[in-house]
Amino acid sequence: MLKVSNRGMQMPASPIRKLVPYAEAAKRKGTKVYHLNIGQPDIETPKMVLDAVRHSDFKVLEYSHSAGNESYRKKLVQYYKKVGIDVTPEQIIITTGGSEAIIFGFMACMDAGDEVIIPEPFYANYNGFAVEAGVIVKPITSSIETGFALPPIGDFEKVITPKTKAIVICNPNNPTGYLYSAEEMEILKHLIIKYNLFLFADEAYREFCYEGKHTSAMHLTGVDDHVVLMDTISKRYSACGGRIGAFVTKNKALLDATMKFAQARLSPPSFAQILGEAAVDLPDNYFDTTKAEYKLRRDTIVTRLNKIPGVFCPNPGGAFYAMAKLPIDDSDKFCQWLLESFNYNNQTVMLAPATGFYSTLVLANRKFDWHT
């Protein structure tokens, strides 16, 4: 009998999407389902950037350069300059979504069996990317009681071994919404220098910071060869389906290695590069409206949740997610129950159980968490 690979067996299912069959069944019964389980913006993609794609004029839809269109990379240099990041077009490789940028980082920086440290809870797909690359995730648990602040430096040092090659940080964080401070980023800088590690910075939610200022890993001084920025237009411009991201580093040897992976997948999507290029020309105040809307939603849900007896939800400083502790026995069963058995005026909500955002047996102590 044919068998699938061990890698295929180990690949985790998405905690964000695994309850989709139950949501579909609820809809077939006529129940309206509000999707709070996935980071799909409902704010319209800017018409100006969609028009750039609609009005594009070429006779052949060709491969682009494996690093992405030079015109787009030059535009991104302008965008990054606005947020205090100084890079050149040659230090940017356009990727098929932020996901490919993360996979490229894992593949180009680590060998099978190497280890990467990630504060948990973390974006669930990091686990999947690690399986693809044969990399071992070493989680460091942050606490809901502290709002999921960066764990103490000693917790990192306890798990560092000769196999440790990198730390991954998502700032603002998915799924907690925590915004890492400049001081916390300096702590990470100390670690990567002391132990000669890469720092992978997933900054998909850079624009959505509600209190405090965003500190990019690219703002850190003296660690140019250590830092890799993984970026995406998906959440920034409500363009998740475009599948355009960026791998950015000043480490020349790493860029050369990563380019070979980029060449192997040929090129990133052409139409979405046109979209991304046009997006850089949006007015500087474009994010004011979207940021205000997300902040209003954050304030509403956090306030309402914390008024429920037995519920605790820390106030996220960025992104558009919230995690809450609920007085329930099992978050997976609870989220399934909401779809199978609960409705209010023939309506229900779809949530993501927070268990899928952890990588340790600490899950047993996190069964009360819920993520939206």
Residue 15 sits in the same domain as residue 142: no
Residue 367 pLDDT > 60, yes or no? Answer: no
pLDDT at 370: 53
Residue 366 pLDDT > 60, yes or no? Answer: no
Residue 250 sits in the same domain as residue 194: yes
Which of 258, 279, 300 lies at the terminal end of a domain, its last residue? 279
Residue 102 sits in the same domain as residue 247: yes
Residue 83 sits in the same domain as residue 212: yes
Residue 101 sits in the same domain as residue 178: yes
Q: Is 324 helix (H, G, I), strand (E, B) or coil?
A: strand
Domain that residue 168 falls in:
47-279
Residue 38 sits in the same domain as residue 77: no
Residue 92 pLDDT > 80, yes or no? Answer: yes
pLDDT at 369: 52
Residue 269 sits in the same domain as residue 310: no
pLDDT average, residue stretch 64-80: 98
Separation CA 265–CA 260 (nearest Å): 9
pLDDT tens digit sequence for 35-49:
998 889 999 999 999
Alpha helix segments (H runs only) across the chain: 6-10, 20-28, 47-54, 70-82, 97-109, 125-133, 153-159, 182-195, 252-264, 270-279, 286-306, 331-340
Structure tokens at 25: 């069944």
Domain presence at residue 290: yes
Residue 255 sits in the same domain as residue 106: yes
Separation CA 140–CA 121 (nearest Å): 9
Measured CA to CA in angstroms, residue 273 lies from 95, 147, 201, 278, 334 at distances of: 10, 36, 22, 9, 41
Residue 368 pLDDT > 70, yes or no? Answer: no
Higher pLDDT, 362 or 118: 118
Which of 229, 262, 279 lies at the terminal end of a domain, its last residue? 279
Which of 279, 297, 329 lies at the terminal end of a domain, its last residue? 279
pLDDT tens digit sequence for 168-193:
999 999 999 999 999 999 999 999 99
Domain presence at residue 111: yes
pLDDT average, residue stretch 217-233: 98
Residue 290 sits in the same domain as residue 274: no
pLDDT at 365: 40
pLDDT at 182: 98
Residue 261 sits in the same domain as residue 161: yes
State the pLDDT confidence band at 18, using cuts at 50, 70 and 90. confident
Q: How far is CA 108 from the centre of its chain?
A: 19
| CATH number of the domain encompassing residue 293 | 3.90.1150.10
Domain presence at residue 1: no
State the pLDDT confidence band at 360, using cuts at 50, 70 and 90. confident
Q: What is the average pLDDT value for the chain, to the nearest integer?
A: 94
Residue 16 pLDDT > 80, yes or no? Answer: no
Domain presence at residue 186: yes
Count of domains observed in the chain: 2
Domain presence at residue 194: yes
| CATH number of the domain encompassing residue 102 | 3.40.640.10
346 exposure class (CB count in 10 Å sphere: 0-12, 13-18, 19+): exposed
pLDDT tens digit sequence for 304-344:
999 999 999 999 999 999 999 999 999 999 999 999 999 99
pLDDT average, residue stretch 356-360: 86
Maximum C-alpha span of the chain: 62
Separation CA 312–CA 341 (nearest Å): 24
Separation CA 219–CA 221 (nearest Å): 6
Residue 274 sits in the same domain as residue 301: no
Read off the pTM. 0.94
Q: Is 318 helix (H, G, I), strand (E, B) or coil?
A: strand
Residue 113 sits in the same domain as residue 171: yes
Residues in Cβ contact with 140 at an 8 Å cutoff, skipping those fewer than 6 apart: 117, 118, 119, 120, 151, 155, 156, 159
